Amino acid sequence: MAALRAAKQALRKQIKLRVAALSDREKRRQSLVVSQKLFRHPKYVSCKRIAVFLSTIDEVCTDEIIKDTFKSGKSCFIPRYESQRNHMDMLKVSSLQDVETLPLTSWNIRQPAEDDSSREEALAGGGLDLILVPGLGFDCLGKRLGRGKGFYDTYLERCSRHPKGKPYTIALAFKEQLYQEIPVDDNDVVIDEVLFEDDE
């Protein structure tokens, strides 16, 4: 177990350096390629209820995706992380303006305030059709290296208990985040598909 933890920590450092070496322009370019691939994806086209992460500087930018979900009339849910109890909910947002006016957390991510109880939580309602998953590293089999807090693994576990069942999961990645093999343990949920810029 300790060896696995150490392997994950070493890999996290390595991937962070690889992504940090990308220029903003290159990150924007790859983000647009990945977004366009997603827009053509049958699971995206058909989904009605989607959870999208609000990207940080070292993740595929999801701004265009969030715009598109509203334009396409989908119900859009975004994460609210509660770091004290390692808990995450997916809460509904109603418009781009709604997203842009959310408070910023200490991690510099916008999310609904903890006392904001007026929003629908995805699993309290009709569940989700599709979850877009962030991460630090991925392999082509869908194994994912997160930031070590387990937010998504725990949430996907909760999803599988919803009457609707587990939603389809797609990870969005820069190609610099792809590795031959990602070390995982039993608690790590495997992602259905990883979208990145490949030579198609």
pLDDT at residue number 199: 61
Share of the chain above pLDDT 90, in %: 78
Q: Is 149 annotated as contributing to ligand binding?
A: yes
Calculate mean pLDDT across residues 41-66: 97
Q: Is 8 annotated as contributing to ligand binding?
A: yes
Q: Is 9 annotated as contributing to ligand binding?
A: yes
pLDDT at residue number 18: 96
Question: For the chain, which domains are there?
Answer: 2-195 (3.40.50.10420)
pLDDT at residue number 35: 98
pLDDT at 200 over 60: no
Q: Is 10 annotated as contributing to ligand binding?
A: yes
Q: Is 148 annotated as contributing to ligand binding?
A: yes
Q: Is 145 annotated as contributing to ligand binding?
A: yes
pLDDT at 171 over 90: yes
Closest CA to 141 of 197, 188, 200: 188
pLDDT at 185 over 90: no
Q: Is 11 annotated as contributing to ligand binding?
A: yes
Tens-place pLDDT, residues 130-170? 999 999 999 999 999 998 888 999 999 999 999 988 999 99
Query: In which band, very low, low, confident or very high, does the pLDDT at 2 lie, cut at 50, 70 and 90?
Result: confident
Q: Is 146 annotated as contributing to ligand binding?
A: yes
Calculate mean pLDDT across residues 46-67: 96
Tens-place pLDDT, residues 69-102? 999 999 999 999 987 888 999 999 999 999 999 9
**Both structure tokens of 13:** 């450092």
Query: In which band, very low, low, confident or very high, does the pLDDT at 128 lie, cut at 50, 70 and 90?
Result: very high
Q: Is 196 annotated as contributing to ligand binding?
A: no
Tell me the pTM. 0.94
Checking 44-49 for CB contacts under 8 A at 24+ apart, the result is: 44/130, 44/170, 46/129, 47/74, 47/129, 47/130, 47/168, 48/74, 48/75, 48/129, 49/74, 49/75, 49/77, 49/122, 49/126, 49/127, 49/128, 49/129, 49/130
Q: Is 156 annotated as contributing to ligand binding?
A: no
pLDDT at residue number 165: 87
